[in-house]
Amino acid sequence: MFDDALPNKRVSVGIRSSTEPINIIELGRWNAFAPDPTGGLAPPPNNGQSTGFAYRVMNFGPPSLPLVQQPNFQYFPLDPSLDRPFDADALVTPADIGPGWHRYSATIGVNFVTLMLDLFRDGLNNATGLPGVDSEVTWSIVPRGSAPFDSLRIGATSGVTSVSGAVVDNIVLERVLSIPEPVALTMASMAALAMACKRRRR
């Protein structure tokens, strides 16, 4: 997804089961307060303040600790060293990162969801320079029911309006057989609710 670093955006790429709807995953930009889904066991980064780069896991089955509710609209934790030293806040926001293509990904297992953000889609942690991603979150949560993931959605997050849009490219969906339980299917690597980029180097 190309991010122009403008504030107050609500755009995402998501996948869900359309029949109810259930098992909603969305990745992209969000601009509102994020409530603590752990009831204080593991508070969200920056106490839920908006940092722009967000994900949503909603209408899944019962969560496991530390979750006490569905992680609806949460922000990816990012290394504080990415914050500009001269701005007025202590948050890592799109304005700190600058315009660029970023890769979002979600892996949906039989009892977990892992979400990742790779700023500038360069395969590096931009705070350390080491191979990897810039943020990764895993929640123990079970997909609900047997309905398939059959609806891919691109645009304003869950139908809300946004002051500006986004450009999306290279969406990849893969379904693989989980091992050692051959009957359990995982969605491995929505590996690109994706989106790329050439970083504006500082």
Does 195 reside within a domain? no
Helices within the chain (DSSP H only): 94-97
Does 36 reside within a domain? yes
Tokens linked to 166: 């986004």
Report the Cα 33 to chain-centroid distance in Å: 15
Confidence of residue 39 (pLDDT cuts 50, 70, 90): confident
CA dihedral 189, 55, 135, 152 (to 10 degrees): 20
Q: Give the mean pLDDT of the chain.
A: 82
Does 194 reside within a domain? no
Q: Number of folded domains in the chain?
A: 1
**Domain range for 167:** 2-187
Q: What are the pLDDT digits (tens) for 49-80?
A: 888 999 999 999 988 999 999 998 899 999 99
Model's pTM, two decimal places? 0.82
Does 196 reside within a domain? no
